[in-house]
Amino acid sequence: MRIVKKLISVMTAAVMIASLTACGNEGSSNPSISNSGSSSSNKSITSSNSSSNSGSSSGSSSSSDSSSASNPTDGKIYHIGICQLMEHTALDAATEGFQAALKDKLGDNVEFDLQNAQGETTNCSTICNGFVTDNVDLIMANATAALQAAVASTNSIPILGTSVTDYATALNLPDWNGHTGTNVSGTSDLAPIDQQEDMILEFLPDVKTVGIAYCSSEPNSVYQSDLMKKALDEDGVSYKEYTAADSNEIQSVITTACDECDAIYIPTDNTMASSVETIKNVVVPAGIPLFAGESGICGAGVATLSISYYDIGYATGEMAYEILVYDKDAGKMDIQTASQTTKKYNKEICETLNMTVPDGYEELTAE
């Protein structure tokens, strides 16, 4: 009997211990039974995890932004309208640089509608109005006439110009402070005019009269001519201006300039640039050295102070990226200029005219 009672006592104790153990396990596995301290601790862990996840997500997003070269667009495709005034080596290079910059940064998330106005300002207007109708995300205007047409077509779509010499002149902005304050910005192709005048005197220290030839319908050419006249005045060199209304007048205008001057200067001028062979066929037989505002025109000249149009186009593309992806205000972005210039000479024409090339000049090569 005692043995039975002892066995019953032992079995009862075992049952109680098992029951208590089960309760303890159940409590630790069920959060609803946690005390406020535990609950608080769990919240704190959740918050920390959430923060960690958020940071991870943010870091991932940041990483995505910082590798914006890859794709910061969340799949958006940007549509860019490009209006180029004409086919020309310099303008072609600027467009190529612009597209390369955006392709480098956006990859397949950018599409271009490139249209060439074939030198006609009325075509520029038609092209830009079409871009507005298509509601493109940005217009790139390559050359002054293209920029003016784009500005006339919209005051809301961002516009970036390139191969434009002076924006204040092109857009008739009297109070110029480096940016337009409108929906427009871009890059300038102006090489310092005083250095171009120095270039003429390096080749021809005894020059008496310089003919300044340009197209009268291009306001930026008028601007450059005024700067050249000022530089020549300061050095006591005489000059005469010769203007052509369009490409049909260029041959006769250049012929007259050759008859009356010792040298000719042609600034960055799209109309003149489109007629390089015509100009060359006049100045070379006449034995008159021509100095050019850009390398394309120097195909008919002796020397130029050159900039890279590809580089200013690329810089324009980088500006476009800032506007498209980071919503920068074009009107508050300063106009950018070429970071460096290079003195170049045309070997063929220098040899033909028996001209000695000063030190510091690089041979002009085909672009």
| Beta bridge pairs of residue 345 | 303, 363
Give yes or no for a contact between 207 and 237, defined as CB atoms under 8 angstroms apart.
Answer: yes
Q: How confident is the model at residue 72 (pLDDT cuts 50, 70, 90)?
A: low
Same domain as 320, residue 272: no
Same domain as 356, residue 227: yes
Q: 10 Å Cβ neighbour count for 186?
A: 26
Its pTM stands at 0.73
DSSP string, 50-116: HHHHHHHHHHHHHHHHHTTTT--STTPPEEEEEEESS--HHHHHHHHHHHHHHHHHHGGGEEEEEEE
Q: 10 Å Cβ neighbour count for 202?
A: 15
Same domain as 359, residue 326: no
The DSSP letter of residue 63 is H
Residues 359, 165, 302, 201, CA torsion sign: negative
Q: In angstroms, rounded to a whole number, what is the distance separating the alpha carbons of residues 261 and 30?
A: 101
pLDDT in tens, 4-59: 444 444 444 444 434 434 434 433 333 332 333 333 333 332 233 333 333 333 33
Same domain as 345, residue 232: yes
Percent of the chain with pLDDT over 70: 80
Can you tell me the mean pLDDT for 77-82?
Answer: 98
Three-state DSSP class for 355? coil
Same domain as 199, residue 259: yes
Give yes or no for a contact between 217 and 245, defined as CB atoms under 8 angstroms apart.
Answer: yes
Instruction: Kindly give the pairing relationship between strand 303-306 and strand 342-345.
Output: antiparallel
Three-state DSSP class for 238? strand
Domain interval for residue 127: 78-189+309-334
Same domain as 317, residue 268: no
Dihedral angle of Cα 147, 279, 228, 90, to the nearest 10 degrees: 40
Spatial CB neighbours of 259, under 8 Å, sequence gap ≥ 6: 286
**Tally of domains in the chain:** 2
Same domain as 182, residue 238: no
pLDDT in tens, 295-334: 999 999 999 998 999 999 999 999 999 999 999 999 999 9
Look up residue 271 and give its amino acid: T
pLDDT in tens, 80-118: 999 999 998 889 999 999 999 999 999 999 999 999 999
Structure tokens at 9: 């006592």
Q: What does R_g of the chain's alpha carbons equal in angstroms? A: 35
Q: 10 Å Cβ neighbour count for 34?
A: 14
Same domain as 278, residue 213: yes
Q: How confident is the model at residue 74 (pLDDT cuts 50, 70, 90)?
A: confident
Report pLDDT for 156.
97
Spatial CB neighbours of 144, under 8 Å, sequence gap ≥ 6: 85, 161, 163, 164, 165, 170, 218, 219, 220, 270
Give yes or no for a contact between 135 and 114, defined as CB atoms under 8 angstroms apart.
Answer: no
Q: In angstroms, rounded to a whole number, what is the distance separating the alpha carbons of residues 161 and 169?
A: 13
Q: In angstroms, rounded to a whole number, what is the distance separating the alpha carbons of residues 132 and 147?
A: 14
Does residue 313 lie in a domain region? yes
Same domain as 245, residue 119: no
Does residue 158 lie in a domain region? yes
Q: In angstroms, rounded to a whole number, what is the distance separating the alpha carbons of residues 160 and 309?
A: 15
Between 219-234 and 193-203, two packed helices, what is the crossing angle to 10 degrees? 50
Give yes or no for a contact between 305 and 195, defined as CB atoms under 8 angstroms apart.
Answer: yes
Report pLDDT for 367.
56
Strand (E) positions, 102-254? 110-116, 138-142, 159-164, 184-188, 209-215, 238-244
Looking at the predicted structure, is the pLDDT value of residue 60 above 50? no
Structure tokens at 320: 């476009």
Same domain as 351, residue 228: yes
Does residue 67 lie in a domain region? no
Query: What is the CATH number for 221?
Result: 3.40.50.2300
Location of structure tokens 């060439």: 116
Q: In angstroms, rounded to a whole number, what is the distance separating the alpha carbons of residues 22 and 321?
A: 65
Give yes or no for a contact between 201 and 358, defined as CB atoms under 8 angstroms apart.
Answer: no
Same domain as 164, residue 266: no
From residue 271, give the alpha-carbon distance in Å to each of 21, 46, 121, 221, 362: 97, 70, 12, 10, 26
Same domain as 236, residue 90: no
Does residue 33 lie in a domain region? no
